[in-house]
Amino acid sequence: MSNLASSSKDRDSKRRDSRRGDPTRGDQYTTDDAFLGGRLRVLQSKSGYRAGLDAVMLAAAVPARPGERIVEAGIGAGAAALCLASRIGGLAITGIEIEAGAAALARRNAARNGFAETIKVLEADLARPGDAMRALGLEQASFDHAMANPPFYARAAARLPADPGKARAHMRDGELLERWMRLCAGLVRARGTITMILPAALLAEAMALFAGRTGALAIFPLFPREGAAASRVIIQGVKGSRAAPRLMPGLVLHGMGSDFTPQAEAILRHGRAIEALAGAGIT
């Protein structure tokens, strides 16, 4: 799956080096990346974790409405939060991030895109959800929606990235995914939603984590091409609901060539919502 949110025709031209380094690592340069067809400019670590298509799709799936509060577990440099704030006005978004450098970039990206008052970034270790909430003064059941793109590679089954921040963003140990779910479920109000994007191979594990905490579970597959197996799934549940799960038709990302399909382009370049999820008004 492509890691960029621009069309294949102009994705290379939309990226340029920025010699304003990560504020916590003076020798670390960043890139200045275009999201939503250039509507957003996001500084990201050149060698660390880098957001792309997954972040845009995650933001497009959240069924937020103006005036609501959203928490993002693992905000990174802020790409998903920025995409959501760009689509829906009047939100209050709180991002939680363990990496000081990524948190600083997220604050900077919020300011440079005009969302300094919309996006608040807090630093905490999500592997300790109870400690994180107490340390940050976050109240239980105080958010309307939670979203996350959690670390999903098992350390024993994957090669560890050299960059420590990238390793932490991609790799998970033991019950890390369950702890992220516990944090999200604790912070979201009754009838609020939890939305995650994960590899399709983790669908069974993710469904087990959502079970007992949410209902009306929506499973939205992302297919690299027509006829191919899904590479990612967006999973969304309603806290406290007892409604049955739904398997959605999903979205094909690429056509015959390397270009995105018109449906994917509408989300990635024009900031459209995934209507089956974000437009359903399920809360």
Domain boundaries, the chain: 16-278
User: For residue 116, which of 107, 124, 125 has the smallest C-alpha distance?
Assistant: 107
At 174, give phi and psi (nearest 5°). 50, -115
User: For residue 6, which of 115, 79, 84, 74 has the smallest C-alpha distance?
Assistant: 79
pLDDT score recorded for residue 28? 55
* CATH superfamily, domain at 16-278: Vaccinia Virus protein VP39 (3.40.50.150)
Who contacts 50 (Cβ-Cβ below 8 Å, separation ≥6)?
A: 3, 31, 33, 44
As a whole number, the mean pLDDT across the chain is 84
**pLDDT at residue 174 above 80?**
no
Q: How confident is the model at residue 153 (pLDDT cuts 50, 70, 90)?
A: low
**pLDDT at residue 63 above 70?**
yes
* Average pLDDT score over residue span 26-51: 87
- Please give the C-alpha separations between residue 88 and each of 59, 65, 75, 110, 271, in angstroms, as whole numbers: 10, 7, 18, 15, 10
Report the percent of the chain where pLDDT is more than 70.
80
14 versus 194: the higher-pLDDT residue is 194
For 222, the token pair is 């992302």
44: left (phi over 0), alpha (psi -120 to 50) or beta: beta
pLDDT in tens, 239-266: 999 999 999 999 999 998 889 999 999 9
Cβ burial of 31 (10 Å; 0-12, 13-18, 19+) is middle
Tell me which amino acid residue 94 is. Answer: T
Question: Taking a C-beta distance cutoff of 8 angstroms, is the pair 106, 48 a contact?
Answer: no
- Please give the C-alpha separations between residue 123 and each of 109, 132, 197, 263, in angstroms, as whole numbers: 16, 9, 22, 36
User: For residue 42, which of 75, 71, 87, 9 has the smallest C-alpha distance?
Assistant: 75
User: For residue 236, which of 213, 267, 259 has the smallest C-alpha distance?
Assistant: 213
191: left (phi over 0), alpha (psi -120 to 50) or beta: left
pLDDT score recorded for residue 280? 53
pLDDT in tens, 95-122: 999 999 999 999 999 999 999 999 999 9
